[in-house]
Structure 1
Amino acid sequence: FAHAWRVMGIEELVCADPADPADACADYNATAVDLFRAAFASPAYTCPQNTYRDGAGCAPCPPAMTSRAGSESAAACFACPAYAYLNCTGGGCNPCPSA
C-alpha cells in the first residue's frame, strides 16, 4: 500500500529528566506513542479481498480460501464451492463458466 506523508511540524524539546512525570517530556512521550498507534498500529485502510486484518497489517487467507474486502479476522476466510470463485464485489461465489 502506498502512503503519502506530510510533515505537520517539528518542535524541539529539551528535557531535564524524561522519566520524571512532572517533566514536560512525559506528556510529549505519551502523545508520540498515541500518534504512532493511531497512524501505524491500526491503519485506516481496509484489507483487500483474499486477506484479513492481522494485528497491524493484512495477512493472506489460507490456500484455497478467500475473504471479502475489509475482513477483520481469519474466521472471515471461507472456501467457495468446487468450480466457483469469489465474485468481484466480494459478496459471494459465482460458478465457473461452462465450456
Structure 2
Amino acid sequence: MLEVTKARAYWQLARFDRPIGSLLLLWPTLWALFLAADGWPSPHVLVVFVLGVIFMRAAGCVINDFADRNFDGHVKRTCQRPMPSGKVSEREALGLFGLLVL
C-alpha cells in the first residue's frame, strides 16, 4: 500500500491529476503541427509532440514545486501539495524531474 501512496504523490506532484494545463499547451502545439505539415502530421511526429507536451508540462510543475518548496507550506492553497506535506522529498522531486525531462 505504501507504493500506491508514493505513486499517487508523484502523480500529484507532476499534476497528472489536473490535465487542463497540458491541454492548454497541446492546442497551440497541434495547431502548429497541422500548419507545418499542411494537413495531418505523421503519426510518429504527432505522438512525439503530444508526449513532449505532457511530460514537459509535468516537469515544469515538479521543478516549480521544488523552487517553491520553502513557501508552499505557508500558503493555504498549496500546503497540502506533495512536497510541503512531506509525501515527496526534495531528492525524490529532483529524481522525478530528471526522469520527466529524459
Query: TM-score with structure 1 length normalisation?
Result: 0.32
Structure with max Cα Rg:
1
Higher relative contact order (CA 8 A, sep 6+): 2
Q: By percentage of residues, which structure has more strand?
A: 1
Q: By percentage of residues, which structure has more helix?
A: 2
Query: TM-score with structure 2 length normalisation?
Result: 0.32
